[in-house]
């Protein structure tokens, strides 16, 4: 068996730098997706058709086409239209954030609908207006129920982030590929990258469990 890790040791710091690059755009994408997803979810449950309809169309488009296609369109096709040379980081965040928002909006919508209708009535009867009612009463309860589903989405996003290597973003995956190409040895750098991904997901999962435990305090 031809396996030799000694050759990639000097390249390991180079690969490790990818962690920061990956985490940076993943965390921005998650937050972006979460905020936009929440807004979309609120539009979807609205009684006003002109809010609901665009949100449904949005979800249909971003869930109905491949993420890599969306990434390519944002990074290569949009500049063709606007003659704007879009930085890879921005493309990556836009593609992943917009895509994630579609999924997150459905998760949050389900979470809101699962909150007892009496909660809305109790808040309304106290004279609480829509915004504080959503922010302080409905969403916290919805969030508690959908946390496992949201964690799933974040984990998927973190792993799928490797797709940005295709547009030249210097993330973990891209760096492993570069090292592999330089050394003509692919197994070792890819294995290192794989382990790093696994550790990142492991930590993320544990953070999720910790948050979940904290939110279950009131049970």
Partner 1 sequence: MIKTINLTKTFGDNMVLKNITTTINRGEVVAVIGPSGSGKSTFLRSLNLLESPSNGFIWIDDKEITNPKINKSEIRKHIGMVFQHFHLFPHMTVLENVMYAPIKVKNQSKAQAEESAQELLAKVGLMDKINAYPNRLSGGQKQRVAIARALAMKPEIMLFDEPTSALDPEMVKEVLDVMRDLAKTGITMIVVTHEMNFAKEVADRILFMDDGRLMEEGRPEAFFSKPTTKRAEEFLSKVL
Q: How far is the CB of 101 from partner 1 (least distance, A)?
A: 25
Q: Which of 213, 210, 212, 207 is nearest to 27 (CA)?
A: 207
Q: How far is the CB of 218 from partner 1 (least distance, A)?
A: 4
Q: Do the beta carbons of residue 171 and residue 164 sit within 8 Å? A: yes
Q: For residues 4 and 124, which CB has a smaller minimum distance to partner 1 in the complex?
A: 124
Q: Is 214 in the site for partner 1 (CB under 8 A)?
A: no
- What stretches of 75-186 show up as alpha helix (H) in DSSP? 78-82, 88-114, 117-125, 130-132, 139-160, 172-183
Q: For residues 123 and 163, which CB has a smaller minimum distance to partner 1 in the complex?
A: 123
Q: Which of 83, 144, 77 is nearest to 116 (CA)?
A: 144
What gap in Å lies between CA 215 and CA 135, rounded to an integer? 16
Q: Is 140 in the site for partner 1 (CB under 8 A)?
A: yes
Q: Is 218 in the site for partner 1 (CB under 8 A)?
A: yes
Q: For residues 3 and 125, which CB has a smaller minimum distance to partner 1 in the complex?
A: 125
Q: For residues 13 and 127, which CB has a smaller minimum distance to partner 1 in the complex?
A: 127
Q: How far is the CB of 112 from partner 1 (least distance, A)?
A: 14
Q: Which of 196, 171, 206, 184 is nearest to 92 (CA)?
A: 171
Q: Is 48 in the site for partner 1 (CB under 8 A)?
A: no
What gap in Å lies between CA 66 and CA 165, rounded to an integer? 16
Q: Is 213 in the site for partner 1 (CB under 8 A)?
A: no
HEC-encoded secondary structure of 39-64: HHHHHHCCCCHHHHHHHHHHHHHHHH
Q: Do the beta carbons of residue 138 and residue 119 sit within 8 Å? A: yes
Burial of 111 (0-12, 13-18, 19+ CB in 10 A): buried
Q: How many residues bind partner 1 (CB under 8 A)?
A: 21
Q: For residues 73 and 128, which CB has a smaller minimum distance to partner 1 in the complex?
A: 128
Interface residue with partner 1, options 137, 183, 190, 191 (CB under 8 A): 137
Query: Of 72-131, which residues contact partner 1 (CB under 8 A)?
Result: 116, 118-119, 121-122, 124-129
Q: For residues 80 and 218, which CB has a smaller minimum distance to partner 1 in the complex?
A: 218
Interface residue with partner 1, options 66, 132, 168, 194 (CB under 8 A): 132
Binding-site ranges for partner 1 (CB under 8 A) = 116, 118-119, 121-122, 124-129, 132, 136-137, 140-141, 144, 215, 217-219
């Amino acid at each position: 068996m031809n396996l030799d890790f000694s050759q990639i040791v000097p390249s390991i710091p180079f690969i490790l730098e990818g962690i920061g690059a990956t985490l940076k755009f993943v965390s921005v994408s998650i937050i972006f997706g979460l905020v936009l997803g929440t807004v979309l979810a609120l539009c979807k449950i609205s009684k006003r058709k002109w809010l609901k309809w665009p949100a449904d169309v949005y979800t249909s488009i971003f869930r109905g086409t491949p993420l890599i296609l969306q990434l390519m369109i944002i990074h290569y096709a949009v500049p063709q239209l606007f003659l704007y040379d879009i930085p890879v980081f921005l493309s990556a965040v836009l593609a992943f954030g917009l895509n994630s928002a579609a999924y997150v909006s459905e998760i949050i919508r389900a979470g809101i609908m699962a909150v007892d209708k009496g909660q809305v009535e109790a808040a309304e009867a106290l004279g609480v207006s829509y915004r504080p009612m959503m922010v302080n009463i409905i969403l916290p309860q919805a969030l508690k129920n959908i946390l496992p589903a949201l964690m799933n989405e974040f984990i998927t996003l973190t792993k799928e982030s490797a797709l940005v290597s295709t547009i030249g973003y210097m993330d973990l995956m891209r760096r492993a590929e570069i090292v592999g190409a330089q050394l003509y040895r692919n197994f070792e750098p890819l294995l290192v990258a794989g382990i790093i991904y696994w550790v990142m997901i492991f930590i993320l999962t544990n953070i999720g469990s910790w948050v979940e435990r904290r939110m279950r305090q009131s049970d």
